[in-house]
Amino acid sequence: MSDAAVAIDVRDLRKRYGEFDAVRGIDISVRRGEVFGLLGPNGAGKTTTVEILEGYRARSGGDVSVLGHDPGRRSHELRQRIGIVLQSGGIYSHITPREALHHWASFYPHPRDVDEVIALAGLHGAADVRSRRLSGGQLRRLDFALALVGDPELIFLDEPTTGFDPEARRSAWETIRKLRELGKTILLTTHYLDEAQELADRVAIVKDGRILAIGAPRELGVGASHYRIAWRDRDGELVERHTDDPTSLLAQLTADALARGETLDELSVARPTLEDVYLELTADG
């Protein structure tokens, strides 16, 4: 891959806090225009990794390149080109979203139009309300809006929907998809499987500071686990079978059922989900 096509390149990244190794040799390469997900349980080292890439933390070892820059040097130019949605970032209590966006826009050489950003983030009704009166969901939209107003090429989203109700999550997902359509590169951390599956082009599953698996969500699913075939038998019991070859198992099951003159009630065939892979990979022991 040429350098111009790579937004983030990480080689053997390590981070040690005292005696604790939070990140133990992570390699990732994020292409431009890609939505890349870091998926893992709490304490896996996701936020540490992202905060090193954002320039908040110094790494203990490894090579890191973000848009061709070493984020550890905290160059002004790099910060003009990235947008950051922190896991929890606050704002002045007495500022309105519109004022905050105008202020933030002044930091950047080519900001987006403030009204456009308000619309993009879904802040229409709340743009002129002081932040202390905004709901949690509205504040999160403001986080998005502030990260977008500088028109960054690369956006970091650290657990963007943690603590959201389902509706707020859907709308945050909608915003992230719009960003992708705008050609933005996105690095997303999450501990929600469905979020990674919905949004990410590729996912790295992280645990204990290491990457356990990396790939497109569907590839990860196919590679690691079995198809699950389930139905309800004559006594109403749910029966479940796992196989790598669903075609022949189904043929056999349906042939047997027909021969007995029975039906396979509620018959379902499920592809392995990211969740199965995730549980398999992150299971202790």
Partner 1 sequence: MADAVVGDNPARRSHRRRPGTVALAWRQYRLERRMFWRNPSAAFFNFLLPLLFLAGGGAILAGNQDQLNRLIPAIAAMSVMATTFTALAYNVVFLRERGVLKRIRGTPLPTLSYFGGVAANAVTNAALQIGIVVVAGKLIFGIGWPRDWAELIVFVLVGVVSLAALGVAFAHAIPNFESTAAYVNAVFLPVVFISFYVFDSSSAPGFLRQIAEALPLKPLIDGLYGAIVTGSGLGNHLDALAVIALWGVFGIFLAVRGFSWEQHRT
Question: Which spans of this chain sit near partner 1 (rule: CB under 8 A)?
Answer: 4, 32, 54-56, 67, 76-77, 79-82, 84, 86, 88-95, 99, 103-104, 106-110, 130, 146, 150, 153, 182-183
Choice between 93 and 248, CB closer to partner 1: 93
Choice between 97 and 217, CB closer to partner 1: 97
Choice between 110 and 260, CB closer to partner 1: 110
Choice between 83 and 217, CB closer to partner 1: 83
| Of residues 231, 251, 233, the one with CA closest to residue 241 | 231
- Give the shortest CB-60-to-partner 1 separation in angstroms: 18
The token pair at 40 is: 């893992």
Choice between 57 and 202, CB closer to partner 1: 57
- Give the shortest CB-11-to-partner 1 separation in angstroms: 22
- Give the shortest CB-53-to-partner 1 separation in angstroms: 11
